[in-house]
Structure 1
């Protein structure tokens, strides 16, 4: 009995599993996972009308295959017109004839490929302008509209207003110029659903547009050379050559579009050639940017070379190559976008890769920016003697990554430009004068008259020396220390180089030693030095002589303290022979 009950329960459990397999199994297994349904995908439209671009391309494809009934499905038609097959075919044929006769559709790459259409124009949402039809003074804009609401997939069709304007427009539909002049054999025989004669005329118009544009460019350049006087120079020739080829390419495209539209080339052919024409236009623009970059680089390098700024030439070359690489990248992205490749993912990848590269090459970028700032500000140049922080040396080269200095020990110090641009730079090469600032410590036995004598004679020496700048020198008795009487001197030596300033300083110091010797006093010895030898006594004769001289100055009111008499300054100027007597003189060339 118990066994039968167990069998009955097993059968009931099996029935439950068969009826509700998913929920029962989930409950038995103790699973808390719920089955999520994938969102339904938007069904594809067999005619490709989900976007404005798909609508235009589908319509061109239909009329190219002469399937006018299918072409009519790209129009917003009234119920009456839609029921009449002949009416639908007539409207599609009329549309094609008007486009062949003087119409124009935007290139496929320019028309929006999104279900929302263009949102950056002045038109209402769900409406895009895709071309126009011109006949005489009448211009009919061609619009496509999204016929679905937000809850349904988009379906773009030529608007009812566009269809109505084409049907009711008072435009005489007649044979195009090509259809009138071409023999029937070239019209009846077709290639790619287009008369062979149209393809032949396209080839002829391409050659004619190129030759005509070349002739016009030649005449234009000839006129410029006659009017512009600088056209014969290297700079003028480079400018003309930079613009000639791109302008000729643009002019060829413009002439080709004008000829083919006026002659009535089939809209199918013109629409297929639109991608090629835009590609040529973008290529011409890129060539123009490339040549302008070459011209600017060449002009800047020659200018930097003339000015002796050799370090800037490498920076100009680097910037030129970087600009060309950017032109190539932009051109590739633009051309891929024209042929219909979605470059959004590629740009995102490039952005992420650029961030990673920037983080990895942070120091390199920092050094490059530092080199650009060095070239722009020019705190130092090749050959300048300067000090960078605690390093002194002569600049030997300024590169894109680092700058090299040769120190007085003849060693080479390489400093990264990023660090150099952030350092404190002291450039000695651009000094217009050199400071002369010795401090003399005289013996404590120096008398006041001897000090007055020293102050006057030392300042007279600076006034008289031709290599000392005319600005009033400063010679002051500044203090009495524990072991000496201190006199500070401040003057400026006028010299072109540091070596010349050292020569002048040497001469002045030797003459000052003579003045000190004649005064009867001497320089004080450092107090911390202990001399065991007998000290030389001060000369009593010279001391008395100096005292008499100072007394005479006082009696005649000629003591040049605290200021010098301007007349005395004029008498002293350049009265010293420099270089001194007996010195070697450089022969004059």
Structure 2
């Protein structure tokens, strides 16, 4: 049954099941191919290594060497590690940097080598020692050797050589050569005690501070201070001697300022300090760090000194350009000064960081990628830098020129690397990026070789025509022959005929150094021309005002307004007369009442009362007269204002026009 069951044909799969299984099969095939590419090589390699198959003796295996545990990968690291081990008094550690034989005593050899270095050893500066695992291949030495210094004791000189050693494990590193070490015992046989060992106070022997012998620290500090003071005094005396002698030899003052004394003293002190410490016998473990920092100080001082010298040189060049009227060079010199200073500072920073122990090779290589990223992120800054070069090279303006650009105008006071500065007439400073400044339309007023005199004369049309033409011809000849004008284009002509005047155009060119001188000459030219015009029977046309009205409409409107005002006056007069009559009647009644009262009463002073009554009546009459005259004046003023308002209304209604004539 089982055999029969196995031999029974299975039903064929349908198309749908085949299609659904196809992606899974394809994925499995791709995964198998990837695994066959990635895994079998290592498996086969291990298997072949175990079986001893596939080892080709002619082939070379490329492997990355492991870094040396003592840091002896490069000549520079070997020297630095050896000095560091000597500073820690670890002679066993220091012996790892020496190529010793099995018969050598490491401690004895290290001690002798240190004694020779203290007496007269001079290592090269760190930047001059190769920091490459292959060493310096251009020093005319075998590829396996490197020169890092010299030992000078008396008349004997021993080069400090490093040699590349290959260990049994195929590791390569640098050590002090056996040839140098075998020459050391012969050199130190005739050495004498150093100055430090002779004059050191006994209480300082054996004491340490910061890992260094206290006697060496005191000696080094004393030498630094003494060297600086003596160098400064010598440089100060030399500078003032040159300041006295130079004018007699060249006829001009010394161009160097006294600010160069201090940096020059530091540079000279740094140069002689290392030799002074070698001569005094300061330990090499202290001498090398001091030399490193004195090198840094000397580079700082040298940079400071060169900046002062650059300022002095470019200041002298700028003054000479102004003196010889080469003002176009001033902008170029200003930009060149800033570029030279920037390059000097960059170089000084690189050297200083190199002395501090930073690996500059990697940093400089990274500057390539970083510079590209910086350029993409600082496109505007680079545009301004290119714009400054364009402004200086094309020279549309120079420092000191008066120009107009955009909505601003003023005097250019500086053309920098990123921007230019312009002082306006309001004494404010406008800073313009050079990228924008170079693309603007700039009008340079300082570049004018002459100034234009261009004005008009307005002469009344009442003048005789022959007089006008004679005056124009005489003025034309007068301007051409005037002392203040040149022969560029001098002309006087009738430009325009207007309704009330002749427009005469005056044009000439005046030679002047600046706008102030031109204004003075223009004033003199104005006076001479006006005096010349005054000799002719002509009058200057002044601004006039004309009123054009329609006479018929004006008389009609004025007449109607006058009638209305007259009617108003009559009504006012009638009302005023009525009021006056009422007041008179009141006065009469009052007088009658008073008379009746006086008749009824007993008056012992009739004469005096009669006189008083006469005075009162006269006063009342005069007051009535004054009131009548005031009323008449008020009436006249009112009628005048009414006529004026009517006239204004009529003028606006009729469309009268007013304009000014020059």
TM over 0.5: yes
Distance 2:157 2:218 in 1: 29
Name which of structure 1's ranges 460-469 and 157-166 shifts more when overlaid on structure 2. 460-469
Change (3 A) 1:360 1:43: closer
Structure 1 residue 94: Cα displacement:
2.4
The answer as to 2:65 corresponding to 1:42 is yes
Distance 2:401 2:349 in 1: 45
Distance 1:114 1:153 in 2: 16
Structure 1 residue 131: Cα displacement:
0.9
Question: Which residue number in structure 2 is paired with residue 175 of structure 1?
Answer: 193
Change (3 A) 1:230 1:376: farther
Of 100, 103, 106, the match for 2:121: 103
Change (3 A) 1:229 1:349: same
The answer as to 2:269 corresponding to 1:245 is no
Question: Which residue number in structure 1 is paired with residue 301 of structure 2?
Answer: 284
CA deviations 1:439-458 (Å, max 9, x no partner) are xxxxxxxxxxxxxxxxxx99
Question: Which residue number in structure 2 is paired with residue 60 of structure 1?
Answer: 83
Q: Is 2:486–2:511's contact at 8 Å kept on the other side of the alignment?
A: no
- What is the SS of the residue equivalent to 1:141? strand
Distance 1:262 1:169 in 2: 16
Of 259, 264, 268, the match for 2:281: 264
Structure 1 residue 195: Cα displacement:
3.6
Question: Which residue number in structure 2 is paired with residue 165 of structure 1?
Answer: 183
Distance 1:186 1:415 in 2: 65
Question: Which residue number in structure 2 is paired with residue 341 of structure 1?
Answer: 358
Question: Which residue number in structure 1 is paired with residue 164 of structure 2?
Answer: 146
* TM-score (norm: length of structure 2): 0.52
Q: Is 2:74–2:130's contact at 8 Å kept on the other side of the alignment?
A: yes
- What is the SS of the residue equivalent to 2:35? coil
- What is the SS of the residue equivalent to 1:144? strand
CA deviations 1:55-78 (Å, max 9, x no partner) are 22333244444444554443334x
The answer as to 2:153 corresponding to 1:130 is no
Distance 2:306 2:93 in 1: 45
Which blocks of at least 5 consecutive residues in structure 1 are unaligned? Answer: 3-25, 407-412, 437-456, 474-490, 508-576, 585-589
Computing the radius of gyration from Cα coordinates, the structure with the larger value is: 2
Change (3 A) 1:274 1:493: closer
Change (3 A) 1:230 1:314: farther
Distance 1:325 1:280 in 2: 19
Structure 1 residue 466: Cα displacement:
5.3
Of 243, 248, 254, the match for 2:271: 254
Distance 1:382 1:329 in 2: 27
Name which of structure 1's ranges 215-224 and 419-428 shifts more when overlaid on structure 2. 419-428
Question: Which residue number in structure 1 is paired with residue 97 of structure 2?
Answer: 74
Change (3 A) 1:178 1:394: closer
Distance 2:400 2:151 in 1: 70
Structure 1 residue 213: Cα displacement:
1.6
Q: Is 2:331–2:392's contact at 8 Å kept on the other side of the alignment?
A: no
Structure 1 residue 192: Cα displacement:
6.0
The answer as to 2:130 corresponding to 1:112 is yes
The answer as to 2:204 corresponding to 1:204 is no
Change (3 A) 1:129 1:385: closer
Distance 1:173 1:414 in 2: 69
Distance 2:212 2:434 in 1: 65
* TM-score (norm: length of structure 1): 0.58
Structure 1 residue 249: Cα displacement:
0.8
- The size of the alignment, in residue pairs, is 443
CA deviations 1:202-229 (Å, max 9, x no partner) are 2222222222222222222232233123
Question: Which residue number in structure 2 is paired with residue 522 of structure 1?
Answer: none
Change (3 A) 1:150 1:355: farther
Q: Is 1:433–1:492's contact at 8 Å kept on the other side of the alignment?
A: no
Structure 1 residue 361: Cα displacement:
4.6
CA deviations 1:2-51 (Å, max 9, x no partner) are 9xxxxxxxxxxxxxxxxxxxxxxx99797245258898552343333222
- What is the SS of the residue equivalent to 2:264? helix
- The structure whose RCO (Cα within 8 Å, separation 6+) is larger is 1
Q: Is 1:144–1:158's contact at 8 Å kept on the other side of the alignment?
A: yes
- What is the SS of the residue equivalent to 1:31? helix
Structure 1 residue 262: Cα displacement:
0.9
Change (3 A) 1:186 1:234: farther
Q: Is 2:246–2:252's contact at 8 Å kept on the other side of the alignment?
A: no
Change (3 A) 1:372 1:259: same
CA deviations 1:502-536 (Å, max 9, x no partner) are 99xx99xxxxxxxxxxxxxxxxxxxxxxxxxxxxx
Q: Is 1:466–1:578's contact at 8 Å kept on the other side of the alignment?
A: no
CA deviations 1:551-580 (Å, max 9, x no partner) are xxxxxxxxxxxxxxxxxxxxxxxxxx9984
Question: Which residue number in structure 2 is paired with residue 223 of structure 1?
Answer: 241
Change (3 A) 1:62 1:174: farther
